[in-house]
Amino acid sequence: MRKLVCVGMLCALLSACTSPFEKQVKADFEEKKALFSQGDFFGVFDDEGLTSDERDALMFLYAYMPVGDVTDYSGEFYLENVRSSFATREETAWGQSIPDEVFRHFVLPVRVNNEALDRSRMVFHDELMPRLEGLSMYDAVLEVNHWCHEKANYQPSDARTSSPLATVRTAYGRCGEESTFLVAALRSVGIPARQVYTPRWAHTDDNHAWVEAWVDGKWYFLGACEPEPVLNLGWFNEPASRGMLMHTKVFGYYEGPEEVMRTTANYTEINVIGNYAQNAPVTVLVTDIDGKPVGDACVRFGIYNYAEFYPVSSQKTGADGRASLSAGLGDMVVLAVKGRAFGIQKVSFGKDKEVKLRLEHQVGDTLSFSLDIVPPAGDPTLPEVTPEQRAENDIRFNREDSIRHAYIASFPSADAIRAFASETGYEAEAVAPYIVASRGNASEIEAFLKEAAGREMRSRALDLLGTLAEKDLRDAEASVLDDHLYHTDSLADVATVLAPRIGYEMLTPYRSFFQREIPETDAARFREKPLELVEWCKDSLTLRDDLCTVGTVISPEGVWKSRMADRTSRNTFFVAVARSLGIPAWIDRVTGYVLYKENDKDVAVDFESGRSEQVAEGTLKLDYTPIPRLGDPSYARHFSLSRFDGEGFALQVYPDFEPWSKLFKEPVPVPAGYYMLVSGTRLAKGGVLAQVSFFGVEQDKETDAGLVMRESEEAVSVIGSFNSESKFQTPEGGETSVLLTTGRGYFIVGILGVGDEPTNHALKDIAAKASELEKWGRKIVLLFPSRAAYEKYQSAPIEGLPSTVVFGIDADGSIEAAIRQEMKLQAGTRLPVFIVADTFNRVVFESHGYTIGMGDQLLHTVHGL
């Protein structure tokens, strides 16, 4: 048996040379290598200094990494990571206890999800190893998470995933970035780790990601950058027990004990729902209208979330017409498509075992129907935490916050920004938003601005920064921004030529690269007739979507060097080349179409045919009759629109939460095609009253369709949103948030007047129901509009209020303003205002002004939750 010798010990990463696994890896590697006829991407294997174990480990990585990881990172980068990972098996007390298969799939890989790669493994290793000396593997996992909390906490952001080092520089990240950061940190010290996603919750909108770590033969979970005293504990224990699906993507071909959902050329997707919630399998039998099984049909299992049926699993039926999935004990909607025939049906996991789904509809049919969707009930299991453990953890948590806040305090201050502006000739008000948003990357943004000032290109530099996403400001290098600014005509359009960003790719200095690499004769030809560039892409690029399945985008330079791309990377490449040559080009955010401008007309690209033409459009109007408490539904909160794409329905990406009245109250242009309109009323317990409609939009014709919002008189429904992280002042002068005050779950917020009858009545009614509200057990946050108002109230307080009441001051009026806006309260509406909401930001009750029986109204609502 041939094994990898790793720092003096047998590592056996690829098992025996005669084993089926090693044969598979070698075959996959040779096949991958043969595809790259352009460029020299495998030079690291020519290094005579490679040991056999290093060579085998690199072979495993290259065999399964996506194309962009081959083209955009050097072999030396991967070799450095391999050597660092090997070192941990010798340096740590747990290194030799980790089975080779676990090490291979959960320590060795550099990539976690779809983040930009960096040297975080080596950087984190050097900082963390001294902190872990003498700790058990279990305690080491907890300690690494405490370290991560020192570096970053939660903040929502866009879909592009920052690298771990960028997250550290920024000092925050969304859950997908925090979990990527923690997995990278754990792997840096040789602890097997994987990122777990619930792609969408079933009982509320949004998703979540966290981490599982392998400790002494068992997988444990933890919330990234949210340290707890023990493992298997996080704020999401209860939501996870209501989950429909949790999955993780394991690098390479994996044969573990978990249910395999999907195997790709890059990863094995496994279903880990059984670690968190009760679950059951459902088999879908797809048949034609005569009841005969249909093979090779596209089947998508969808969870209602953000007003769409988000596809959490996409499969093809076998020859027997079947597709199956295990999921939590709730409802999904299954869509099956073959050609232009389709069927759609609700399935209930735990109740249905096998469901027959007939392809009874045809693209072009007009139909509408209702669905009542029920999420899993949930039954969380919580590990024991002693009061002493909780107290110690709270002390550490606060100390870690202080460490992070001290780092954040090093970011440029207002005075420093004014000084920089004065030195470089900018208006402070013009540069401050960009420097503040850049956080730990401020030196790069300031370097870019300073260089532009020296070249008298201040205005143009600000134009470029204005095209960037906020995340770009936090991780873009000055040299990359310089490349785009100084290699673009000063009169070129800002949005469609100067802008470096195209989609969700990592920014690179592609502009000078293409101006250097593309022969001038070809460049002139492309400028004269952009269709020539379309045809070049069609003829010269090899499309391999199957080798690019992790959601990364190959850099435009990588596409050019390899002549290989997936569709997303090809589209990005086309726009990058066009802009580099001064051709206005972009990707439409709603439809995903690639367009360029020619003779002042927007021209859509069809790479498959090599043709370009104006988009065939009709107009669409959605007719809506308001229901009580919902006069103007919003996109992605109450309804969504998807267009048939041959295998299913692709979401049209209109701005999140844009009101119906601005989008579809009047006829608007949309691409001709066949559409699915989904609307839903989310109930307080998580269920949904959904309406589904299908209709066509013909070219140059108007289509009127009905937007129906169903309502229930019996169940409490979600009527709006409230940011539970909103901050207010404590009576003692400190600052806190609603979330920190109430903890996870439901709560009541009241904005009070002082000394007026409506407020006094409301407070007295609440006091009359104090015992029942205390029994409910959730916090009641009562806020005053000013400190003076609070002090006035304290001079004559209402007696007998529930012990769960917490007072505070909405000093800047932001909480009141947010509630008024979301609840659509008219100017001059009298206080008090009360809402019942939860930390998923759902509002289920609102009352304002003079109301009798406020205590009863609140109890009626909370008893219905």
Distance CA 416, CA 319 (A): 68
Of 280, 374, 284, 275, which is closest to residue 327 (Cα–Cα)? 280
CA dihedral 100, 101, 106, 108 (to 10 degrees): 50
- Tell me which of 204-218, 679-693, 843-857 is least confident: 843-857
Q: What is the pLDDT of residues 744-763, one digit of tens each?
A: 999 999 999 876 667 876 89
Contact (Cβ atoms closer than 8 angstroms) between residue 804 and residue 741 = no
Of 722, 748, 764, 754, which is closest to residue 851 (Cα–Cα)? 764
Q: What beta strand segments (E) does 685-841 contain?
A: 688-697, 702-707, 720-721, 727-729, 735-737, 746-751, 780-784, 805-809, 833-838
The runs of H, that is alpha helices, within 112-219 are 120-128, 137-151, 164-170, 175-188
- Predicted confidence at residue 852, as pLDDT, reads 63
Between 769 and 727, the more confident residue is 727
Cα Rg for the chain, rounded, in angstroms? 29
Q: What angle do CA 525, 530, 531 make, to 5 degrees?
A: 105
Residue range 823-850: average pLDDT? 85
Distance CA 464, CA 494 (A): 7
Contact (Cβ atoms closer than 8 angstroms) between residue 569 and residue 72 = no
Contact (Cβ atoms closer than 8 angstroms) between residue 832 and residue 762 = yes
- Tell me which of 143-157, 181-195, 712-726 is least confident: 712-726
Q: What is the pLDDT of residues 114-163, one digit of tens each?
A: 999 999 999 999 999 999 999 999 999 999 999 999 999 988 888 899 99
Measured between alpha carbons, how far is residue 25 from residues 62, 64, 254, 437 in Å?
9, 9, 11, 44
Distance CA 423, CA 414 (A): 14
Q: What confidence category does residue 18 fall into, taking pLDDT thresholds of 50, 70 and 90?
A: low
Q: What is the pLDDT of residues 531-561, one digit of tens each?
A: 999 999 999 999 999 999 999 999 999 999 9
Q: What confidence category does residue 865 fall into, taking pLDDT thresholds of 50, 70 and 90?
A: confident
- Predicted confidence at residue 760, as pLDDT, reads 78
- Asked if omega into 832 is within 30° of 0 (cis), the reply is yes
Instruction: Report DSSP state, residue 635.
Output: B
- Predicted confidence at residue 11, as pLDDT, reads 43
Measured between alpha carbons, how far is residue 334 from residues 351, 358, 679 in Å?
15, 11, 16
- Predicted confidence at residue 636, as pLDDT, reads 94
Contact (Cβ atoms closer than 8 angstroms) between residue 657 and residue 841 = no
Residue type at position 780: I
Contact (Cβ atoms closer than 8 angstroms) between residue 34 and residue 562 = no
Q: What confidence category does residue 175 fall into, taking pLDDT thresholds of 50, 70 and 90?
A: very high
Task: Tell me phi and psi for residue 189, to 5 degrees.
Answer: -110, 25
- Predicted confidence at residue 524, as pLDDT, reads 97
Residue range 105-112: average pLDDT? 98
For residue 413, the surrounding DSSP H or E stretch is none
Q: Count other C-beta atoms under 10 Å from residue 406's C-beta.
A: 10
Of 751, 731, 674, which is closest to residue 705 (Cα–Cα)? 674
Q: What is the DSSP string of 127-140?
A: HHGGGGTT--HHHH
DSSP SS3 for 92: coil
pLDDT at 788 over 90: no
- Predicted confidence at residue 827, as pLDDT, reads 64
CA dihedral 482, 487, 488, 494 (to 10 degrees): -20
Q: What is the pLDDT of residues 598-633, one digit of tens each?
A: 999 999 999 988 777 888 999 999 999 998 768 899
Q: What confidence category does residue 506 fall into, taking pLDDT thresholds of 50, 70 and 90?
A: very high
Q: What confidence category does residue 850 fall into, taking pLDDT thresholds of 50, 70 and 90?
A: low
What the block records as the tokens of 558 is 């990588």
Residue range 413-418: average pLDDT? 98
pLDDT at 480 over 60: yes
- Percentage above 70 pLDDT, the chain: 96
Burial, 332: exposed, middle or buried (Cβ in 10 Å; 0-12, 13-18, 19+)?
Answer: buried
- Tell me which of 125-134, 212-221, 673-682, 766-775 is least confident: 766-775
Of 803, 685, 806, which is closest to residue 746 (Cα–Cα)? 685
Q: What is the pLDDT of residues 330-382, one digit of tens each?
A: 999 999 999 999 999 999 999 999 999 999 999 999 999 999 999 999 888 88
- Predicted confidence at residue 7, as pLDDT, reads 40
Contact (Cβ atoms closer than 8 angstroms) between residue 113 and residue 177 = no
Q: What angle do CA 383, 385, 386 make, to 5 degrees?
A: 150
What the block records as the tokens of 273 is 């729902």
Q: What is the pLDDT of residues 38-67, one digit of tens each?
A: 888 999 999 999 999 999 999 999 999 999
Q: What is the DSSP string of 9-64?
A: EE--TT--TTSHHHHHHHHHHHHHHHH--SS---GGGG-TT--HHHHHHHHHHHHH
pLDDT at 16 over 50: no
Buried b / exposed e across 684-708, counting CB within 10 Å, b at 16+? bebbbbbbbbbbbbeeeeebebebb
Distance CA 472, CA 450 (A): 18
- Predicted confidence at residue 2, as pLDDT, reads 30
Q: Which residues contact 811 (CB under 8 A, 6 or more apart)?
A: 728, 729, 786, 787
Distance CA 35, CA 15 (A): 26
- Predicted confidence at residue 756, as pLDDT, reads 63
Distance CA 180, CA 248 (A): 12
Between 140 and 851, the more confident residue is 140
- Predicted confidence at residue 755, as pLDDT, reads 60
- Predicted confidence at residue 853, as pLDDT, reads 65
pLDDT at 9 over 80: no
For residue 512, the surrounding DSSP H or E stretch is helix 510-517
Characterise 96 by phi-psi region: left (phi > 0), alpha (psi -120 to 50), beta (else). Answer: alpha
Q: What confidence category does residue 20 fall into, taking pLDDT thresholds of 50, 70 and 90?
A: confident
Between 19 and 569, the more confident residue is 569
Residue range 232-253: average pLDDT? 92
Contact (Cβ atoms closer than 8 angstroms) between residue 96 and residue 581 = no
Distance CA 578, CA 575 (A): 5
pLDDT at 107 over 90: yes
Distance CA 597, CA 49 (A): 52
Distance CA 545, CA 556 (A): 16
Q: What beta strand segments (E) does 491-614 contain?
A: 542-543, 564-565, 585-587, 594-598, 601-606, 611-613
What is the pLDDT of the chain when averaged over all its residues? 93
- Predicted confidence at residue 238, as pLDDT, reads 84
For residue 305, the cross-strand partners are 308
Of 110, 108, 4, which is closest to residue 50 (Cα–Cα)? 4
Q: What confidence category does residue 764 fall into, taking pLDDT thresholds of 50, 70 and 90?
A: confident
Contact (Cβ atoms closer than 8 angstroms) between residue 732 and residue 719 = no
Distance CA 294, CA 162 (A): 42
Contact (Cβ atoms closer than 8 angstroms) between residue 660 and residue 635 = yes
Residue range 201-205: average pLDDT? 90
pLDDT at 828 over 80: no
Q: What is the DSSP string of 800-846?
A: T--TTEEEEE-TTSHHHHHHHHHTTPPTTPPSPEEEEEETT-EEEEE
Distance CA 693, CA 704 (A): 12
